[in-house]
Amino acid sequence: MTQVTINLYQGMSHQCSYLTDQVACMHVVDPDFKITPGHYGRLLESGFRRSGDMVYRPGCQACDACIPARIRVDSFRPNRSQRRTRKKNLDIVIRSRNAELDEQHLDLYRAYLASRHADGEMSAGTIADMRRFLISDWCETILIEGWLGERLVLSAVTDVVDNALSALYTYFDPDLPDRSLGTLGILEQIEACRSLGFRYLYLGYWIESCRKMRYKSSFQALATRDPEGHWSLLRKQ
């Protein structure tokens, strides 16, 4: 494998959106570097993820709470709660397609943000704003959608790299809380990995002390990456 040197830049310090008592800082891949899906697959393995065209990983000096996480697909078995989630959503039709956003996606995205980020920390904006956040010209991205009749109720934005999928962002109908649509989205991403013969589903960062991120540890066969670069299955306390 050809060695590639990638320069990193340190971003501006800002208040952490996950741990309010912490100051966050990101290490960002040189925006002039021409990233390919192959590069991105190796960057994911090294603990990076993307937002739009920006590829980054946490670089906080005083905190190491953000831990890269991925599911080992061949070892995953759903627990009882996840099996119930599947059973109560049998009437939802799952479709996968290229990441083309339209007004239905914008309406669902706006409803989700209004419910989950009512403090305004994220802006619903326009389809163009959604594209800047969710889509990149250099990355293959698909939408794993859930449809209830003619109604879009789930959209899991998912990057495709060599031997893995990466769960970038999932938004769903906030008026259907009993359906656990966020969990359903991850279960469908796991199934997509299996159908493609991929080994891993990357879930971004697991933060044990953050309630919004703690749910990831409910997925069996979750592996985390230590600061030395070794991946190992998470041992639940």
In a domain, 173, yes or no: yes
Nearest partner of 222 among 196, 191, 186, 181, judged by Cα: 186
* Kind of pairing between the strands at 49-51 and 164-172: unpaired
Taking 90 as the threshold, does the pLDDT of residue 93 lie above it?
yes
In terms of domains, do 31 and 135 share one?
A: no
pTM of the model: 0.94
In a domain, 1, yes or no: no
In terms of domains, do 24 and 113 share one?
A: no
Between residues 57 and 4, which one has the greater pLDDT? 57
In terms of domains, do 195 and 109 share one?
A: yes
In terms of domains, do 58 and 75 share one?
A: no
Over residues 188-193, mean pLDDT: 98
The length of the chain in residues reads 237
Q: Which two tokens stand for residue 231?
A: 């991946």
Question: Are 102 and 59 a contacting pair, CB within 8 Å?
Answer: no
Over residues 5-48, the pLDDT tens digits come to: 899 999 889 888 888 888 899 999 999 999 998 999 999 999 99
In terms of domains, do 169 and 102 share one?
A: yes
In terms of domains, do 135 and 184 share one?
A: yes
CATH number of domain containing 100: 3.40.630.30
Nearest partner of 42 among 4, 76, 96, judged by Cα: 4
Which residue type is seen at 119? D
Domain that holds residue 120: 70-233
- What are the φ and ψ backbone dihedral angles of 148, each rounded to 5 degrees? -110, 95
d(CA 146, CA 214): 24
pLDDT for the residue numbered 122:
59
Over residues 202-220, mean pLDDT: 90
Task: For residue 113, give the H/E element and its range.
Answer: helix 103-116
Q: Give me the number of domains the chain comprises.
A: 2
Question: Are 192 and 95 a contacting pair, CB within 8 Å?
Answer: no
Last residue within a domain, chosen from 66, 90, 115: 66
Last residue within a domain, chosen from 34, 66, 98: 66
Over residues 137-158, the pLDDT tens digits come to: 999 999 999 999 999 999 999 9
